[in-house]
């Protein structure tokens, strides 16, 4: 049985429900995480605590392991609703669609069956999922559910012994909506259980951590900065208020350098202004397209023109009152599509230096609607690199003036973009890599291609803007040829125009799309702000010497490498293990690409080839900009002279 399941590792990860499933709290169900021996040890299963420890999970996996036709059907389509003999209902709302199937395990230990989901059933089940109405869901699926008989009695199902570490509590906050509550806690305002963070020294590689531990914010390692404790990794989708963490860090500093693409957070704006008025030296480097939207309208590039934010205006209005302590610089990207896309802060003061980096724009939508990753680190090597880069950006930028026009930055050959040497502390299969890489026109593309080529077993990409360059596509395809298990989760809005993905799909790369946590976890209505905004890549992240690209600003596109100001951060150890677990969670929520979308991309690619156009990638997260490839100039020839009006036939003019 073990061999059967292990042969389906990637499919079974989808089947491992745990990372996206919830159970009704109507009967006071508690949760625990269980690593089952019959499934890959990295898979986490969330089960009601029935006294059988893993009874529900054991029953589900026992059934599918003994019925290959059922296992095949579920691996291909994914479970939607599970009714176990104890009465709990587990649902994956994004899978509730016509044509999918539900695994039903009736009360009383009856035979499990797969029930096809019709259009009417899908609509009813979605609403019942939101209401937590177990009996109604059972009825919709043609079964009955008796709440009074669901006192978590044993069903007689075979129990698979859990791993020794199975007694840990499940990562409730990791499965929570952005508001910080699981569906079972909605309306109660319960906070996740408190836990004492482990010191970094105890986590050299994160090898002994389960996915449940890795995804639990309460257990995540923290660093001390002054009187504040800050997580080394944070995500707003877990309910963590990133703005609040930033303000806490800022309160411990006496100087700061902020480089930000977008900015509309008033709490941060007030902290910046108040501390500058009190004497703190602050340098803020903003992006021209956001601070001067009227002069470089986003609509020109397929996006939406938005006015300067309230937070930006607040900073501008208070500049005189800071007495020069707050310096505001504006940096434009290269050409009419380039941007200053960085999002990082370096804090300095009596408590030392602290770097905050990530994919998180300092905006409300990043907090409320996006998948994002943020890091806080005291790594001196990284901080030195970012300080040198920030100083270099400041020399390219211009001081704020209401009359600034959209001029490209000036570059000095004697002042090249900062580079970072490969680090002895960061190796992929023995090959050292730099911890940080910067753009434009830095080493970014070649570094990532190198990492792809070194991957032995697994490549994972979670990317907002999936526009890999031709060299990256070639490296990924070559890896697939080496049997490297390769997959990608792309933002649902961006992938709709990402024609480079076609070549990856044709090479048998698994590609899914996903919306933001507001839609996927909280089940809010569709909206333009809901995004998978992370820019992550894992290179054998599950292996002890794997590395990851994460918590940085760079999307994989030619535009990001050559037109934007960006940063890449590479990590190993605990960060790599966290990413691997996080990716499995996102994968459990993501959707297979619709066949009509794939066909649309094929048609679009054919049009690009016919028109000889090349994608540079999206501008400002909007529609991708398409730049025409110039045609070679034709050789000019002398015009034929006009024919003389004569009855005689004129001699032909000789062309030169």
Question: How is residue 440 annotated by DSSP?
Answer: S
Identify the CATH class of 209-399: alpha beta
Residue showing tokens 């176990």: 84
Residue 245 φ then ψ, to 5°:
-60, -40
Which residues of the chain carry a pLDDT beneath 50?
A: 1-68, 70-94, 147-206, 299, 301, 619-656
Give the integer Cα–Cα distance in Å for 215 and 195: 13
Give the integer Cα–Cα distance in Å for 273 and 253: 14
Strand ranges, E, within 279-429: 281-287, 326-331, 343-349, 352-358, 370-371, 374-377, 398-399, 423-428
Give the integer Cα–Cα distance in Å for 262 and 258: 11
User: Is residue 306 within 8 Å of residue 287, measured between CB atoms?
Assistant: no
Give yes or no for a cis peptide into 440 (omega within 30° of 0). yes
> In the prediction, which pLDDT does 212 show?
85
> In the prediction, which pLDDT does 210 show?
83
Pick the CATH number of 424-627 from 2.40.30.160, 3.30.1330.10, 3.30.870.10, 3.40.50.1980: 3.30.870.10
Q: Say whether 424-627 and 209-399 share the same fold.
A: yes
Give the integer Cα–Cα distance in Å for 246 and 581: 25
Give the integer Cα–Cα distance in Å for 226 and 249: 8
For the chain, domain boundaries: 2-160, 209-399, 424-627
Q: Tokens for 225?
A: 């900065």
> In the prediction, which pLDDT does 100 show?
67
pTM as predicted: 0.68
User: Is residue 511 within 8 Å of residue 504, measured between CB atoms?
Assistant: yes
Give the integer Cα–Cα distance in Å for 332 and 296: 10
């Amino acid at each position: 049985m073990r061999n059967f399941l292990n042969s389906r590792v990637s499919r079974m990860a989808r089947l491992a429900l745990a990372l996206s499933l919830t159970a009704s709290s109507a009967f006071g169900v508690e949760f625990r995480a269980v690593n089952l021996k019959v499934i890959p040890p990295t898979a986490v299963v969330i089960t009601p605590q029935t006294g059988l420890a893993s009874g529900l999970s054991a029953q589900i996996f026992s059934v599918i392991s003994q019925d290959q036709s059922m296992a095949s059907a579920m691996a291909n389509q994914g479970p939607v609703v599970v009714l176990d003999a104890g009465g709990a209902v587990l649902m994956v709302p994004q899978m509730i669609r016509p044509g999918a199937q539900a695994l039903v395990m009736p009360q009383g230990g009856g035979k499990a069956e797969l029930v096809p989901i019709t259009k009417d059933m899908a609509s009813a089940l979605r609403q019942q999922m939101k209401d937590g109405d177990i009996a109604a869901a059972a009825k919709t699926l043609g079964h009955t559910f008796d709440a009074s008989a669901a006192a978590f009695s044993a069903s007689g199902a075979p129990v698979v012994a859990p791993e020794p570490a199975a007694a840990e509590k499940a990562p409730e906050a990791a499965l929570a909506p952005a508001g910080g509550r699981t569906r079972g806690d909605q309306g109660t305002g319960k906070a996740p259980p408190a836990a004492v963070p482990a010191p970094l020294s105890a986590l050299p590689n994160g090898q002994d951590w389960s996915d449940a531990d890795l995804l639990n914010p309460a257990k995540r390692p923290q660093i001390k900065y002054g009187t504040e404790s800050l997580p080394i990794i944070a995500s707003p989708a877990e309910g963590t208020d990133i703005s609040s963490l930033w303000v806490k860090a800022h309160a411990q500093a006496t100087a700061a350098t902020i480089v930000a693409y977008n900015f509309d957070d008033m709490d941060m704006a007030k902290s910046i202004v108040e501390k500058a008025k009190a004497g703190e030296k602050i340098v803020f480097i903003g992006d021209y397209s956001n601070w001067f939207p009227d002069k470089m309208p986003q609509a020109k590039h397929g996006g939406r023109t938005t006015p300067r934010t309230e937070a930006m205006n607040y900073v501008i209005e208070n500049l005189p009152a800071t007495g020069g302590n707050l310096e505001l610089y504006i940096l434009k990207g290269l050409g009419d599509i380039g941007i200053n896309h960085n999002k990082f802060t370096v804090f300095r003061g009596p408590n030392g230096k602290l770097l905050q980096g990530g994919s998180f724009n300092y905006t409300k939508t990043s907090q409320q609607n996006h998948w994002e990753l943020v890091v806080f680190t005291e790594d001196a090597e990284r901080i030195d690199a970012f300080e040198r880069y920030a100083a270099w950006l400041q020399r390219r930028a211009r001081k704020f003036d209401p009359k600034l026009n959209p001029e490209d930055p000036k570059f000095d050959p004697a002042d090249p973009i900062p580079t970072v040497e490969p680090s002895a502390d960061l190796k992929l299969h023995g090959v050292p890599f730099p911890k940080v890489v910067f753009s434009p026109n830095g080493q970014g593309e070649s570094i990532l291609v190198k990492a792809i080529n070194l991957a032995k077993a697994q490549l994972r990409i979670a990317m907002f803007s999936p526009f890999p360059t031709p060299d990256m596509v070639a490296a990924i395809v070559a890896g697939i040829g080496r049997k490297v298990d390769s997959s990608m989760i792309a933002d649902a809005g961006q992938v709709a125009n990402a024609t480079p993905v076609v070549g990856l799909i044709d090479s048998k790369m698994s590609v899914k799309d996903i919306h933001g946590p507001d839609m996927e976890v909280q089940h809010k209505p569709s909206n333009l702000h809901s995004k998978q905004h992370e820019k992550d890549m894992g290179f054998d992240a599950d292996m002890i010497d794997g590395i990851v690209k994460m918590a940085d600003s760079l999307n994989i596109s030619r535009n990001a490498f050559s037109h934007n100001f960006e940063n890449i951060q590479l990590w190993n150890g605990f960060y790599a293990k966290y990413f691997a677990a996080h990716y499995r969670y996102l994968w459990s929520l993501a959707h297979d690409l619709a066949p009509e979308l794939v066909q649309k991309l094929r048609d679009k690619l054919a049009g690009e080839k016919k028109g000889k156009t090349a994608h540079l990638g999206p501008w400002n997260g909007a529609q991708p900009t398409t730049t025409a490839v110039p045609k070679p100039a034709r050789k000019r020839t002398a015009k034929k002279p006009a024919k003389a009006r004569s009855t005689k036939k004129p001699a032909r003019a000789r062309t030169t």
